[in-house]
Amino acid sequence: MAQSKQKIIVVGNGMVGHKFIESLVTHEDASQYSITTFSEEPRLAYDRVQLSAYFSGSTVDDLMLTTPSYYDEHGVRYLVNEKVIGIDKDAKTITTSSGLVEPYDTLILATGSFPFVPPIPGKDQDHCLVYRTIEDLEAITASAAESEVGVVVGGGLLGLECANALHNLKLTSHVVEFAPQLMAVQIDEGGGALLRQKIEALGVSVHTGKNTSEIVAGTERRYRMNFADGSHLETDMIVFSAGIRPQDALAREFNLTLGERGGIVINDHCQTSDPSIYAIGECALWDNKIYGLVAPGYSMAKAAVAHITGGDVTFQGADMSTKLKLMGVDVGSIGDTHARTEGALTYTYFNQPEGVYKRLVVSSDQQTLLGAVLIGDTSDYGTLLPMMLEKMPLPEQPEVLILPAVEGADNALGVAALPDSAQVCSCHDVSKGDIAAAVADGACDVASLKSCTKAGTGCGGCVTMMGQVLNSELEKMGVEVNDHLCEHFAYSRQELFDIIRTKQIKTFADLIDQYGSGMGCMTCKPAVGSMLATYWNEYVLSDKHIHLQDTNDIFLANMQKDGTYSVVPRIAAGEITPQGLITLGEIGKKYDLYTKITGGQRIDFFGAQLHELPLIWQELTEAGFETGHAYGKSLRTVKSCVGSTWCRYGMLDSVSMAVLLEMRYKGLRSPHKLKMAVSGCTRECAEAQGKDIGVIATDKGWNLYVCGNGGMKPRHADLFATDLDDATLLQYIDRILMFYCRTADRLQRTSTWMDNMEGGLAYLKSVVIDDKLNIGEDLEADMARVIDTYECEWKKTLQSPERLKRFAHFINSDATDDSLAYEPDRGQNKARIASKSMAPPTDAERIPVTIAK
């Protein structure tokens, strides 16, 4: 008889509850467990860490960590809007608010926490809100629409996140903090002072040492906050973000052991006083500590799964060090930031002009790092944190760890000195050893490491260190780590692009004569051909460039598996006249082409023979159509919705903007194909947030998203800038695309380019918006040249009898290809796979790729 499954109920489907479920369903013994989860909220788990992104354009779907289909696929039963209100420990059942009674073998309490609201008279009025759930965000947005001034009560991590949200909502924003400084728990007085200075420079007023005594009606604004020192502040809305309290009411009512100040007491396995009940996350109290970060909650979930499944992982506490960006300000907090350890010594570096503050806290013998504070520059965080956690010996001059340079001293100890146990990714608890093991198993780039270890997929702060560990491990394996384009050029793609630009080189022959060796190969030739096309935008089929092109570019069409080609005319933004549709229909019918509307709002013709390509394009160009560059590493499409032209929700004219973008960038050759989209409102019908460049209209202008993609490894685009006018939007896109063309690796998509870029999105913003490298005008000038020199490659080819000679099946005959075979399918001809040799290769037939050692 089949053994019945162990019934596991998870109360709470927040980040930690979901992490427990995800860990259990992917365990090798997952089939032995039946999982049910209850969410008090109306949706499944979402990313609370990124809540503030909601106010800068991210949608609820963007924040979601899971989907019903994922749970269905793994056999997880889920109930939303269902609160668990009772536990019968003897009968091992739970009861919900709707009267549902469910039995369990093991119960997991992942109820999280709730916002602490100080007992201030007047705190329960309208427009007095908290900052915790998506519903809270919706309430804040609604209140902001009726307000001009907003106050956040609380100057800690969550409070500053909330202040950023109000700032993004265009409110005059204030932060009121009881303590004498911001982030008093995480950073020292000096760091707090600089943080305050930076935040006030952004336009947010900070009031520290303020104890709110009451909230009453205001004279100029909706409310007046009276402070104990006699001062006051008037505001239209108040958001309380003064800390959290463990959500332990259920455990309290049903007699589980609690801490003196709250929290469900757990052991190292995360078991409560009832061994069948576990508690994880912010509701749990371990060693009299509540952990208010997600990473410790994930570690608890891992320990609970291990104990349930017979593993040996335990929870031994967690380091509360953190690196984050608050309102654009880099902040790092490590260990004992206040030098409370007996005999502790400190080193401080303060660069006021640059807005950088760094403090080291070391042991009395100066041998061990106890803590650190980093404001304005957190580049040392990845080195300092493992040094503190692993108690690594300090250099003879500890100050070199935070000083820009000390003559004769080695500032960078490097990742090679770190032990395998050093944590690289705190979000997913990935160590240096985990990454080393993944590299040994064949993960030889950052993207692969993210996929197999999940490191870098949380907050993203560890990506730089991941890359350093990757290179270090490859070197240990005997793999030469270099960025040379190929054996013929001892330069990276970026270096070669700079050489082409600065030395004004226009041909492959000149480049390899002066900076390379040999005759070139199928790696460097197309790459250099693409760079030359990007910078000079000359005709790719000219005598000096044609030998650099691959098959698709040589014939200006995509070769299909049966040897025929596709024809894809440009239909900018998907906008086409009825006459244009008629023309395309007549051409498709005349040449008996398989016809399909693509996901990018274009029309594909399939089945064109080589000799037919000039004939088809002659008719297309005469009708006003241009090449759609479907064959090139270049801009493919700019998708659009109908926007304000027709849609009752449209905020701006998305079609006109999409046409403008497509016609502006249609001649740009790039390291990889590019796709764009423009949506007329946040309903996002054009799916702009999945594109290399995505533009979404709001009531204040355009929001710009960058570096997303679909494909085998989909990536959501990141919000780059908000509320842009047309001119600024185009300026930013010009700079982003040309910077990408200059600095990306060969065949590297924008998403991978930015993920692998040191500093990531923040660095890209500094280059494009702040012009950190002072190259903004150069990038714009390069793009202007591309725009000004555009010509349709097919139109030019049709004017050259010499080039048209290439479009023949045989060099000594006008015969056509009579070996093609078709079969009818839904009213059109479809290519028939005549033999196994024409079918896509199986996995066994694919050529294995290895790294030479």
Pick out the residues of the known binding site: 641, 647, 681, 685
Amino acid of residue 283: C
The residues pairing with 111 across neighbouring beta strands, listed in sequence order, are: none
User: CA nearest 511: which of 778, 498, 534, 747?
Assistant: 498
User: What does the DSSP assignment read for 22-88?
Assistant: HHHHTSTTGGGEEEEEEESSSSS-B-GGGGGGGGGT--HHHHBS--HHHHHHTT-EEEES--EEEEE
Count of C-beta atoms within a 10 Å radius of residue 34 = 16
Phi-psi region of 363 (alpha: psi -120 to 50; beta: other; left: phi over 0): beta
Q: Mind giving me the DSSP string for 484-512?
A: -SBTTBSS-HHHHHHHHHHTT---HHHHH
Closest CA to 8 of 276, 300, 283, 302: 276
Query: Which tokens go with 777?
Result: 């005008």
- Please state, in angstroms and as integers, the Cα–Cα distance from residue 446 to each residue in 61, 423, 450, 455, 755, following that order: 26, 17, 6, 9, 8
Q: Binding site membership for siroheme: which residues?
A: 685
Distance between CA 216 and CA 308 in Å, rounded?
A: 53
- Yes or no: say if 220 and 214 are a contact pair by the CB < 8 Å rule: no
Cα 1 to Cα 4, 641, 745, distances in angstroms: 9, 58, 58
Q: For the CA atoms of the chain, what is the radius of gyration?
A: 30
Q: How many alpha carbons lie under 13 Å from residue 177 in its C-beta half-sphere?
A: 21
Annotated binding site for [4Fe-4S] cluster: 641, 647, 681, 685
Token pair recorded at residue 728: 């600024």
DSSP string of 729-772?
HHHHHHHHHHHHHHHPPTT--HHHHHHHSTTHHHHHHHHHTS-T
Two structure tokens written together for 613: 């390509």
Distance CA 747, CA 744 (A): 8
Alpha-carbon span 512 to 530, nearest angstrom: 15
Query: Which amino acid, 226?
Result: N
Q: Is the alpha carbon torsion for 847, 848, 849, 853 positive or negative?
A: negative
